[in-house]
Amino acid sequence: MTIRVLLADDQALLRATFRILIDSCPDLEVVGEAADGREAVDLVRVHRPDVVLMDIRMPGTDGLTATAVICADEDLSDTRVLILTTFEIDEYVAQALRAGASGFLGKDVTADALLDGIRTVAAGDSLLSPTATRTLITRFLTAPAPGTPLTAPEQLATLTSREREVMSLAAEGLSNDEIAEKLYVSPLTVRTHIHRAMTKLGARDRAQLVVMAYQSGLVQVVPPE
C-alpha cells in the first residue's frame, strides 16, 4: 500500500528536493505541496494524505497552527503530521505534540531517516529525534498551555496493569523492541498493548499517549539537569 504524503514548506526548492526523494520510493508518493499552513489545511482536506511533512515557520498561518487544525478535525483523523524544521528546540517540540503532531525531526536528518520517519508515523507510531526526546517532556508537557485539557489519573482505570506498564515505558522513550526486551515479551505483544491503551484512552497515536502518561502522573517528571 502506498503512503500518500503532503509537503508543507515555504521554500519551493526544499519541497522539490523532498518530492524527488519521496517519489523515488515505490511505497511513498507526494500528493500535494503547500507553501503555508493555511494552504496545507486546505490541501489535506482535498487529498486526505496519510502523512503531512510540516515545517513550523511559514508566512501567514504557521505549521503549529495548521497542525492543531488538522489534528482537531475528526474527518482528518487518519492523517498524521510529521514536523520537520530547522528550529529543533524543546518549546517547539512540546507545542507540536500538544497540537497533535505524531513526530518531530530536525532538517539535518539523513534521507534514510526521513523516509523511515514517514513510514513510522504513517504506521501510527510516534517519532521524536534523539535531540528532542527527553527534556521536552520534563520541561513542557507537564505544564500545558492554558485551556489544554489534562488527562485525569482516574482515566487510566480502564487500563490493565500491563497496559499501564507498557504505556509508562513508552513515555520514558523506550522503543517497542526495548520494552519487549525489558518485559520478556514479543514486540508484537508490546504493540498490541500500546494500541489497546490508545483505544481505551482515545489517544490519536503513540505521541499523544506519551503526553497522557505524564499529564496523568503515571510517569513522574525528572527535573532536567
Q: Please give the residue that has the higher pLDDT: either 55 or 219.
A: 55
Residue 222, domain member (yes or no): no
- Average pLDDT value for residue range 140-154: 60
Residue type, 117: G
Residue 14, domain member (yes or no): yes
- Average pLDDT value for residue range 166-176: 84
Domain end, chosen from 110, 139, 168, is at 139
pLDDT 10s digits, 34-65: 999 999 999 999 999 999 999 988 989 999 99
Report which of 12, 8, 18 is spatially closest to residue 42, judged by C-alpha positions. 8
Q: Are residues 128 and 155 in the same domain?
A: no
Q: Please give the residue that has the higher pLDDT: either 163 or 153.
A: 163
CATH number, residue 165: 1.10.10.10
CATH number, residue 34: 3.40.50.2300
- pTM for this prediction: 0.70
Q: Are residues 121 and 188 in the same domain?
A: no
Q: Are residues 112 and 185 in the same domain?
A: no
Q: Are residues 41 and 132 in the same domain?
A: yes
* pLDDT > 90 in the chain, percent: 46
Residue 207, domain member (yes or no): yes
Domain end, chosen from 119, 139, 159, is at 139
The domain of 173 spans 149-215
Residue 220, domain member (yes or no): no
Q: Are residues 105 and 160 in the same domain?
A: no
The string over 173-187, giving b where at least 16 C-beta atoms fall within 10 Å of a residue's C-beta and e elsewhere, is ebebeebbeebeeee
Name 154's Cβ contacts closer than 8 Å, sequence gap at least 6: none
Q: Are residues 93 and 166 in the same domain?
A: no
Domain end, chosen from 95, 110, 139, is at 139
